[in-house]
Amino acid sequence: MTRFLALFIAWATAFGPASFSQGQVAQPHQSQTPENVIHVTVNLVQMDAVVTDSHGNPVANLKPEDFEILQDGKPQKITNFSFISTRPAAPAPSNPPKPAPQTKGIPIPPARPITPPPFMPKASDIHRTIALVVDDPGLSFESIVRVRNSLKKYVDTQVQPGDLVAIVRTGAGMGSLQQFTTDKRLLYAAIDRIKYTIMSRVGIGSFEPLGSRDFAEVASGQASADGVLKGGGDPAIGARVIAQLRTSIFSVGTLGAIRYVVDGLRELPGRKAVVLFSESLQLFNGNDPDLRVAEGVRNLIDAANRASVVIYTIDPRGLNDYGLTAADAGADPTGQSSSQRAGQAFDSQAGLVMLAQQTGGIFYQNNNDILGQVEKAVEDADGYYLIAYHPPSDTFDAKTGQPKFRNVKVRVKTAGLTVRSRSGFLNHPDTVVEAPARTPAEQIRRALYSPFNSGAIHLRLSALFTNFASKGSFISGLLHFEAKDLHFNDQPDGSHKALIDVVAITFGEQGQGVDTSTRSFIVTLKGDEYQKALDDGLFFEFQHAVKKPGYYQLRVALRDEGSQQIGSANQFIEIPDVSKALTLSSLILEKETTATKRTAGEAGEGQSPQQDPKGNPALRIFKPGDSLDYVYQILNAGANSAKPIDLQVHTRLFRDGQQVYEGKPMPLQIVTQQDPRHLLATGTMKLGVQMPPGDYVLQVIVIDALSGDKHRTAAQSTDFEVQQ
């Protein structure tokens, strides 16, 4: 057993191992990654378009001669053409997996149901990328409730393996709960935090009361700041004007949050969908255009078109009744006030309509079925045409020095068909050269705040939750990176030396940096050890303290001092509250070896020896027939005078999101340990020699007979890969 496992076991005596063999599994479905959609260069403009028939059904059998494309009203010659379907391919016929054996033992109580672990697909398995953006400052209290309930139903019934989904609040930073994921647990946690905010630019209800003196006077431009009528039609400068300014600023903030999502989506392949829930994005203040908001909308449209993002907008107010209510004291009963309310609704939707129309999306309104609207928006992105042309030579010749919007119109010649596409682009090419970072600190800062893994050093991160009575909760960070990405200095004794800096930051639910840790490691290799590192990479580990429970994103940057190259990686992790409930630490999984156990006095950070180049806890890549070790902690187990501990454990195995094996519950033999509230357990898993290659998830479930029903079960899982 290698050093990392032994380091955990050294704190206490381990339980007897639980073992099982692998059962029959199914083949994964194949999914083709769609190509990038939008290109805007001096030599090529490529656009996407959706064509539907009179019933709204997609049409997928058209040819280039069925289309016409115009830039600024002038026809362009179509040079590239294809139809892209993002629906997952139907699985090939095969023998279905054998059902998991029925087991007996202590049943899992319904108070704490154990859900299957999330399926972690590769980039090639992603067929839909969906951002559900909730504009909480732009929603009333009534709409917040409807949106939250609809999103829960959508995650329950519509999110499938291969869907990469994020639930984003524009009123919060891009925190740990607003990342793209396939994990429904993370999506549920994000939905639970969608709440009405007092900073809303809407209010408790969707419409403000009509008939008040203030409303009528401001509408006619007759009110002053102190509420005294002014003659001559002077513009209002009172509280309503301040409220309009506040609304304008908050709307720009909403657009900035959506722009952050769009920019993050730019690196992902294919046509991406952003579904925006809002009931207030005004382009006008009275009769005057809101220049701040209009500029923000224009820039967002251009960014979305370049990032291959289609924006669908949903007004969740549903079927609107513009009639009078009890709050409309003094309103005109003749119908004029009702007309004013309809005008409010129309003004509030102007920006939503523009975002949808000019990015190829749809604006949904006057419908109480929010869930159905989300489903339609997502399904709309399932198939599209790619149409490209060579732009005229003067397209990017901005003589004034200011970007100019180039209008693009896609038409379909067949009668009865409707085409939706993007409205155009600003006349500058996609390539934007970012100024290079000048200092090591700036390099690291950029890497840490990037939403994606990046850099010249190929870095893989595994973040594991651990807790010990003497140290509290912390994250064990496991790093694997290519040694050939580092610059080694040759030493007089024939060894090779490199210096690396590792900086880790946990970001909280609102996107704020919480805890930071830094360390430097000297890498010294010699002879065969040096060549092995160049071939297989290096495995490092570090510890990062976490003071409070919660949801976090751990971001790590590694910088090589010699080459000044950098790599970064990030991972979502939940740090549970270990004060009461039965809890399991993360699972440490690696290939079983006969390596000598390390003692508890040795350090838990730095370079780790690798008995297997891939079967270490950071990579977790194994072969059929391998025997694997896993270790974990059991925290807060129940106990009494008659039975100090009464625990059972059973395991489940999943492939491509489907359960393929379930072991029998097995009692854990009690072994004296120093701290009964921090128990350690190990297990051994033997992979079948006929086990098909693919991505798997191991789940361990612990059942505590001495705890109350509410805290009786706990589960933890880890993913791994099987290769031939």
Kindly indicate the confidence band of residue 666, based on its pLDDT and cuts at 50, 70 and 90.
confident
Asked whether 640 and 706 are in contact (CB, 8 A), the reply is yes
Is residue 648 within 8 A of residue 703, CB to CB? The reply is yes
Residue of 299 and 399 predicted with greater confidence: 299
Give 400's Cβ-side CA count (13 Å radius): 5
pLDDT-derived band at 10, boundaries 50, 70, 90:
very low
pLDDT in tens, 116-144: 655 555 666 677 788 899 988 888 888 88
- Among 81-90, 412-421, 563-572, 575-584, the least confident range: 81-90
Q: Assign 286 a pLDDT band (cuts: 50, 70, 90).
A: low
Q: What's the pLDDT at 431?
A: 52
Looking at the predicted structure, is the pLDDT value of residue 78 above 70? yes
Other CB atoms closer than 10 Å to residue 532's CB: what's the count? 15
Please state at what angle helix 350-358 crosses helix 291-306, rounded to 10 degrees: 20
Least confident of 84-88, 287-291, 362-366: 84-88
Provide the token pair at 120: 């972690």
Q: What is the mean pLDDT of the chain?
A: 75
568 neighbors 437 (Cβ within 8 angstroms): no
| Cα–Cα distance measured from residue 259 to residue 250, given in angstroms and rounded to the nearest whole number | 14
Residue 18 has pLDDT above 50, yes or no: no
Q: Give the predicted TM-score (pTM) of the model.
A: 0.60
Q: How confident is the model at residue 64 (pLDDT cuts 50, 70, 90)?
A: very high
**Residue 633: half-sphere exposure toward Cβ, Cα within 13 Å:** 24
Burial of residue 175 (CB within 10 Å: 0-12, 13-18, 19+) is: buried
Q: What is the pLDDT of residue 344?
A: 75
What digits encode the pLDDT tens for the residues 448-473?
Answer: 766 555 568 888 888 899 888 888 88
Average pLDDT for 709-721: 81
From CA 150, how far away is CA 205, in angstroms rounded?
19
Using alpha carbons, list the distances in angstroms from residue 236 to 133, 346, 595, 686. 34, 22, 80, 77
CA dist 582 and 713 (Å) reads: 7
Interatomic CA distance for residues 109 and 424, integer angstroms: 56
From residue 722, how far is each of 346, 360, 361, 432, 718 by CA, in Å? 56, 41, 41, 40, 13
Tell whether the model's pLDDT for residue 722 goes beyond 80.
Answer: yes
Contacts of 10 (CB under 8 A, 6+ apart): 597, 598, 599, 600
- The string of pLDDT tens digits covering residues 379-391 is 886 778 889 999 8
pLDDT tens digits along 677-696: 888 888 888 888 988 988 88
Q: What is the per-residue pLDDT for 206?
A: 61
484 three-class SS: helix
pLDDT of residue 129: 83
Average confidence (pLDDT) over 520-535? 89
**Quick one: pLDDT band at residue 106, thresholds 50, 70, 90?**
very low
pLDDT at 67 over 90: yes
Q: For residue 364, what are the β-bridge partners?
A: 314
Is the model's pLDDT at 26 over the cut of 50? no
Q: Which of 88-92, 161-165, 673-677 has the highest mean pLDDT?
A: 161-165
Query: Which of 169-173, 367-371, 550-554 is least confident?
Result: 169-173
HEC letters along 326-374: CCCCCCCCCCHHHHHHHHHHHHHCHHHHHHHHHECCCEECCCCCHHHHH
d(CA 272, CA 256): 18
Question: What pLDDT is attached to residue 407?
Answer: 87
Residue 111: pLDDT band by 50, 70, 90 thresholds? very low
Determine the pLDDT at residue 95. 45
pLDDT-based confidence at residue 234 (cuts at 50, 70, 90) = very low
Least confident residue range of 47-61, 323-337, 497-511, 613-627: 323-337
Compute φ and ψ for 447, nearest 5 degrees.
Answer: -65, -40
Sheet containing 459-468: give its strands across.
459-468, 472-481, 538-545, 606-607
- Among 445, 479, 444, which Cα is nearest to 461's? 479
| Pair type for strands 496-507 and 489-490 | antiparallel
At 672 the pLDDT is 60
pLDDT digits (tens, 9 = 90+) for 165-205: 888 888 765 544 557 777 787 788 888 888 877 666 776 66
Return d(Cα 167, Cα 133) in angstroms, integer: 6
Higher pLDDT: 292 or 216? It is 292
Contact 192, 185 (CB under 8 A): no
Residue 135 · residue 170 · CB < 8 Å: yes
- The angle that helices 141-157 and 184-192 make with each other, rounded to 10 degrees, is 170
Please name the amino acid found at residue 187.
L
Q: Which two tokens stand for residue 593?
A: 């070896």
What average pLDDT does this structure show over 310-337?
67
Please give the pLDDT value at position 238. 52
Q: Are 385 and 76 in contact (CB under 8 A)?
A: no
Contacts of 448 (CB under 8 A, 6+ apart): 503, 505, 555, 556, 557, 568
3-state secondary structure (DSSP) of residue 446:
helix
> What's the one-letter identity of residue 89?
A
Structure tokens that stand for 609 in this block: 């020896």
* Distant-in-sequence, close-in-space partners of 362: CB < 8 Å, separation ≥ 6: 312, 313, 356, 376, 377, 380, 420
Residue 269 has pLDDT above 60, yes or no: yes
The predicted model gives 22-43 an average pLDDT of: 46
Q: Name the burial class of residue 534, with classes exposed (0-12), middle (13-18) and buried (19+) by CB atoms within 10 angstroms of its CB.
A: middle
- Retrieve residue 682's tokens: 């190990």
What pLDDT score was predicted for residue 290?
80
Decide if pLDDT at 280 tops 50.
Answer: yes
SS (H, E, C) 13-48: CCCCCEEEECCCCCCCCCCCCCCCCCEECCCCEEEE
Domains of the chain: 3-28+436-722 (no CATH), 42-86+387-426 (no CATH), 126-206+255-381 (3.40.50.410)
Name the residue with higher pLDDT: 508 or 465: 465
Helix, strand, or coil (residue 215): helix
At 105 the pLDDT is 38
Tell which residue, 66, 60, 75, has the closest CA to residue 412. Answer: 66
Is 160's pLDDT higher than 50?
yes
pLDDT at 599: 32
Give the residue with greater pLDDT, 202 vs 238: 202
Amino acid letter, 204: I
From first CA to last CA, the distance across the chain in angstroms is 23
